[in-house]
Structure 1
Amino acid sequence: MNMVKSSILALALAAAGVGSAFAAGPVQLTIDAGKPGPMINKNVYGQFAEHLGTGIYEGMWVGPKSKIPNTKGWRNDVVGALKKLHVPLVRWPGGCFADEYHWKDGIGPREKRPVKVNTNWGGVEENNAVGTHEFFDLIDLLGADAYVNGNLGSGSVQEMSEWLEYLTSDSKSTLANARRKNGRNEPFKVAYFAIGNEAWGCGGNMTPAYYTDLYKNYYNLMKAPADKRPKFIASGGNDYDTTWTDTLSRELKGRTDAISFHYYTIPTGKWDVKGAATGFAENEWISTVANTLKLDGMIKNNVAKLDKNDPEKKIGLYVDEWGTWYDVEKGTNAGFLFQQNTIRDAVVAALNFNMFHEHAERVQMTNIAQMVNVLQSMIITEKDKMLLTPTYHAYSMYVPFQGATTLPVKLENNAAYTLGAASVPGISASAARGKDGKTYLALVNTNPGKAADVVINVAGKQVNAVSGSVLTADKMDAHNTFKNAQAVKPAPFSARAAGGKLTVAVPAKSVIVLSVEG
């Protein structure tokens, strides 16, 4: 009788949305270290800095005369924090801003540069204080690679080709000499160059066929010395649209190294009312997780188009804009896209990392939006103050995966986290062999209210212990503030085998990255 009552109670609780609480036994996780997969390109952890709100001005650039400590105008505190993430690459100047940016406005003496209006983001004045040379100063300070996004929307073939010449020419041409006059004798190293951005939308409202013809024209006239020629990126689609990837991978073979793809995680799935960054209910926690996990299917669908049209696998899929997008914080400029950053954002970031690792063969670059003060940022600043967000900490924890080799992971008995009609896997995992030879394991618990036990096995090997760090919090919207900048931060984590098994207790709403010890 008691057993029957227990069964009825379990079914009732499952229907109420807490069925995962009665999963039988721990999650079983097996790493197959004997079957290494593709390498995780370091650029999967790339960043994005657009002329948007205080993302660059104030947040990163204060100018060389500022009282805030800086190097060549870039804030020392922000640069120092970003360097700890081993930032591999930065995309600039946009975004939508890129297709209204005219590069000659941003060179020469800063006091003589024209003042424009940033029509995309807030209608504020753009004084062009940060231009080509300033951006490459940042690149040099970070020790990162440069990803430059060219203006296809409002520019011209001549303008874009001349920018590439200015950047890369080692000749005595007028443009190369102008670069020298402006302070840079040697050519800049441009690792990647995109021809346009979001051509389907703010970059020109084009069709794939029209953009393809334009791309061919521009690409044909983009000249650079062979040893300084960047990899070229074509502006692809977004969300569930695979038409762009299909068309571009058929028509641009041999002319592009990658096709871009954009996807933003919105709690409600609606652009007009996206959902709040803080103070949200659990239904928006699970909807956010569920919506970010949709990216996996989108990547698979686009990769299928690439596999059909590019079986040689010469074209990458670059998710060069992604992240959470909420309603802007009350009292801020709606065009500045400032939002708070919580433990939910760290969980979203880690889930995306795990997905990107799963598709490492094609997904060779991603760029979160954005670095500072905009959308899902790493850092928030206020005048001379700076704090690190939970998303920053997620990036910091995943540093060992840069350049690592993926290892297959099998999850069994992985109970779902369910709330109402929504249901997502309770545990997400990814494993890799780091450049240091160690095996690393990342675990994400999507359930905000219940811990999960995970038994770790490495096929053919005995696992004695794991050590690393854990990021979690007591509340779903826990975040760092200038009054309490350490509210959400990683803590040391370790576990040892007992009775021949190694069981890791993964806290609710947490991200864990571990080194597996034999």
Structure 2
Amino acid sequence: MKKLILSIALLCSGLFADAQTETLLSIKPAGNQIVSKHIYGHFSEHLGRCIYDGFWVGENSSIPNKGRIRLDVVDALKKIKVPNLRWPGGCFADEYHWRDGIGPRNERPKMVNTNWGGVIEDNSFGTHEFLDLCKMLDCEPYIAGNVGSGTVEEMAKWVEYLNFDGVSPMTAIRKQNGMDKPWKVSFWGVGNESWGCGGNMTPEYYSDLYRRYATYARDYAGAPLKRIASGASSDDYHWTETCMKNIGPGRMWGLTLHYYTLPTGNWGAKGSATKFDEEQYFNTMKNCLRMEEIVSKHAAIMDKYDPKKKVALIVDEWGIWTDVEPGTNPGFLYQQNSLRDALIAGTTLNIFNNHSDRVRMANLAQTINVLQALILTEKDKMVLTPTYHVFDLYKVHMDAKYLPINFTSPDYSLGDKKILALNVSASQDSTGAIHISLVNLDPKNKIALNTDLGELKWKTVTGQILTSAQLTDVNTFTNANKVHNAKFTGAKKSGNTLKVELPAQSVVVLELK
């Protein structure tokens, strides 16, 4: 491949308050590193209205559905090519007993969802229903097994029920329940948040327990497991160190990491999803950008024990977590989704892309009606959030060759505080097209990019943009398209130079052919 050198000068026009600055950005040629499509995964827990009233409608619902799975939701998720879906939790996974969710629905026992609102779970959406959903979405299932309140035998038999194509008690039950051939589920989580709601364990205890559970989660013919260990919360580097040392790279495919962006940094009063000023916005984005430091430090620990990078770092819970919407059940974690959240999504995905040598899977929390949702529903109505539109823009990076980037960002300043205004990632797809995703976090100033592409020969540039007048702008059931993707006309070719004007508070994805 021809050497690709991209230099960008960030020039402040007369509209800018600051003096002119120049920044060099270079993009190196693609190597063997791939931006895994699984970075763009999602998470659906038995929590609030994610499953019930989200994916799953009533038995006699007039909402178009197939086997009670809501079709408009399926169509929307297929459009963004959802690569994998994590289920049944979350905290719910470690109180979920899979046999309660198979067989005739009218015979399934009910249970109390003790983690999320104390509501009654009727188990009508279980293993078969989830795997039907994944088939409709054409995505890979990612199942989190119960280590907290379950047993080794329970998990082992669930794997057998899912993956064994032979004669056994579990396959006989599966066939009795209408599935003759196994699903061959690959992604398998051994517990969830074992440091917290999954058992309040120490890393030393969990890593020993993992080895036991993982031993009996068998590889069956044609169905090798990708075993995933329950990893750290945020900056708990001791947890990662202990798991890497005690479990070792040969016993796990991946190790998880959970990090949520809290607007205030305070779990007690996290801040509103829709009512915030610039100072609250600034602090939110500062907390979002911590993902770079956290991923880098966990990856460095993993490198010490796994220099060949065989173990994936899986950020299978991430996103903004705010206070719930006023008047809603606090245990349902329902929050609106603004332009600010779209900027968080674009920024975080750029970070993951740039660490795709180690981050090979991630799952936004959560898909529908919970936390930083892609989709909100209300009876027969459905709205796509600004975050959904970012995933629609970024799907071009899936399984593309990673293009390394070096640059210095201008600052976004507020008083005496400052953060990086610009973040970028780039990839080259199988057709040779280059995709560059750019996020400008500064809500006031544009960034002018004057780009020299060196030896790269290209003829056209096109793009799409996501922005809005206010950071607090949201899509609602009465105004579903207030924040949406639009054609971007701020990029042009001048000789072999790419000139871009990146608007304030925007996400832009460019395609060069």
CA distance in structure 2 between the aligned counterparts of 1:37 and 1:464, rounded to whole angstroms: 25
Matched, 1:382 2:395: no
What is the match of residue 257 of structure 1? 253
Name the counterpart of 2:500.
504
CA-CA distance at 1:464 after TM superposition = 5.0
| Cα distance in structure 1, aligned partners of 2:278 and 2:459 | 37
Contact 2:453–2:497 (CA under 8 A) maintained in structure 1: no
The alignment status of 1:148 with 2:121, answered yes or no, reads no
Q: Contact conserved, 1:265 with 1:324, CA < 8 A, in 2?
A: yes
Aligned to 1:134: 129
Measured after TM superposition, the shift of residue 510 of structure 1 is 0.4
CA contact (8 A) 2:338 2:473 kept: yes
Partners in 2 of 1:305 and 1:408 — Cα distance? 22
Aligned-residue identity in percent: 46
Q: Distance in 1 between matches of 2:476 and 2:407?
A: 37
Deviation per residue, 1:10-68 (Å, 9 max, x gap): xxxxxxxxx97314156553333x34351001000001000000001011101453211
Q: Which of 276, 295, 308 is the equivalent residue of 2:272?
A: 276
Query: In structure 2, which of residues 313, 338, 343 is the aligned counterpart of residue 342 of structure 1?
Result: 338
Establish whether residue 434 from structure 1 lines up as the match of residue 466 from structure 2: no
* Secondary structure class of the residue paired with 1:57: coil
Give TM-score scaled by structure 2 length: 0.94
Q: Is the 8 A contact 2:30 2:401 kept in 1?
A: no
User: Is residue 182 from structure 1 mapped to residue 184 from structure 2 by the alignment?
Assistant: no
For residue 366 of structure 1, what is the amino acid of its counterpart?
A
Aligned residues: 497
Deviating 4+ runs (over 6 angstroms): none
Report deviation, 1:463.
5.2
Aligned to 1:451: 446
SS in 1 for 2:509: strand
Tell which deviates more after alignment, 52-61 or 311-320.
311-320
> In structure 1, what residue type is equivalent to 2:85?
V
Where structure 1 has 5 or more consecutive residues not aligned to the other structure, the ranges are: 1-18
Q: For residue 426 of structure 2, what is the amino acid of its counterpart?
A: A
Query: Shift in Å at residue 462 of structure 1?
Result: 4.9
Q: TM-score, normalised by structure 1?
A: 0.93
Give the superposition deviation at 1:88.
0.3
> Aligned with 2:450: secondary structure?
strand
Which residue number in structure 2 is paired with residue 97 of structure 1?
Answer: 92
> Would you say 1:475 and 2:487 are equivalent positions?
no
Partner SS, residue 318 of structure 2: strand
Which stretch shows the higher mean deviation, 418-427 or 149-158?
A: 418-427
Per the alignment, residue 301 of structure 1 pairs with 297
Aligned partner (choices 380, 391, 398) of residue 395 of structure 1: 391
Q: Please, which runs of 5 or more residues in structure 2 have no aligned partner?
A: 1-14
Partner secondary structure for residue 372 of structure 1: coil
Per-residue CA distance 1:208-255 (angstroms, 9 max, x = gap): 010011111111111231421220000011111111211111121221
Question: Residue 16 of structure 1 aligns with which residue?
Answer: none
Residue equivalent to 1:169? 164
Residue 213 of structure 1: aligned partner: 208
CA distance in 2, matches of 1:172, 1:189: 16
Structure 1 distance, partners of 2:356, 2:27, is 17
- Partner secondary structure for residue 227 of structure 1: coil
Shift of 1:409: 2.0
**Cα displacement string for residues 457-476 of structure 1 (whole angstroms, at most 9, x for unaligned residues):** 32322555421200000001
Q: Given the alignment of the two structures, is residue 354 of structure 1 paired with residue 341 of structure 2, yes or no?
A: no
Match of 2:225 in 1: 230
In 1: Cα distance, 2:140 partner to 2:336 partner: 28
2:282 — aligned with what?
A: 286
DSSP-derived class of the 1:259 partner: strand
Match in the other structure for 2:9: none
Letter in 2 for 1:251: N
Partner deviation per Cα, 1:421-462 (whole Å, 9 max, x = no partner): 431111111111013320100010001122211122323225
SS in 2 for 1:149: strand
What is the correspondence of 1:107-126 to structure 2 with a 5 Å cutoff?
Answer: 107-126=102-121
